[in-house]
Amino acid sequence: MYVIPAIDIIDGKCVRLTQGDYAQKKVYNEHPLEVAKQFEGAGIQRLHLVDLDGAKAKHIVNYKVLERIASNTSLTIDFGGGLKSDEDVRIAFESGAMQITGGTVAVKNPVLFASWIARHGSERIILGSDVKDRKIAVSGWQEQSELELLPFLSDYVQKGIQYTICTDISKDGLLQGTALELYKEIRGEFPSLHLIASGGVTTMDDLYRLRELGCFGAIVGKAIYEGRISLKEIETYMA
């Protein structure tokens, strides 16, 4: 299982929110490339990069940050936040993203999202399935749809999706553990889906449990920045 650190960007800086609330923003580093290089130095191979300005603006904003990290590290970057058009996706890939994540667009414009899968291939498109009370949330988690999680996943598995990042919003940023039962259920329903767990990872024990469930990856954010999980521990795990 891959340990995938998250870098969330506002105004070009590395920040974290709590439960997607822009009012609960904490700046951790003004230079995201420095952070990415620290991750790479610990043997980490993948990075989850989120354009929070883009999520709010509904189009890509921080592609220059993506470009700097992609051109100065060997990290496999998945990029999300505000990707709503073919042009946004083109800019993301040309700026160095290996994969892009679409959540809101998959709900609000499923025809467009399905066209990205067909055009770019299911290896490069990740379905964002962010969930609260078992329903899909969109627009930077500011809106809740009426779509139930499992039917939503089933629909896109049939359309060829191979990867999903599933965030339990109720757990995100609280450092109180992750949604193990939810991920166990998803793994049981869709054993071939590359499930990337996100939200609430707090300790190395959380990572070992997610690995036992068969998750492809686990996104870690605040636990790293707040020192709950050290890069040394991740380096040992990766080795």
Q: Could you list the active site residues?
A: 8, 130
In single-letter form, the type of residue at position 35 comes to V
Euclidean distance between CA atoms 201 and 185, whole angstroms: 18
Euclidean distance between CA atoms 149 and 65, whole angstroms: 32
Euclidean distance between CA atoms 55 and 197, whole angstroms: 20
Q: Is 199 exposed, middle or buried (0-12, 13-18, 19+ CB in 10 A)?
A: buried
Euclidean distance between CA atoms 28 and 17, whole angstroms: 11
Q: How many Cα atoms occupy the beta-carbon half-sphere of 217 within 13 Å?
A: 24
Euclidean distance between CA atoms 77 and 35, whole angstroms: 14
Torsion, Cα of 88, 38, 175, 163 (10° steps): 40
Size of the chain in residues: 239
Euclidean distance between CA atoms 60 and 83, whole angstroms: 6
Euclidean distance between CA atoms 167 and 171, whole angstroms: 8
CA angle 147, 151, 155 (to 5 degrees): 105
Euclidean distance between CA atoms 85 and 87, whole angstroms: 5
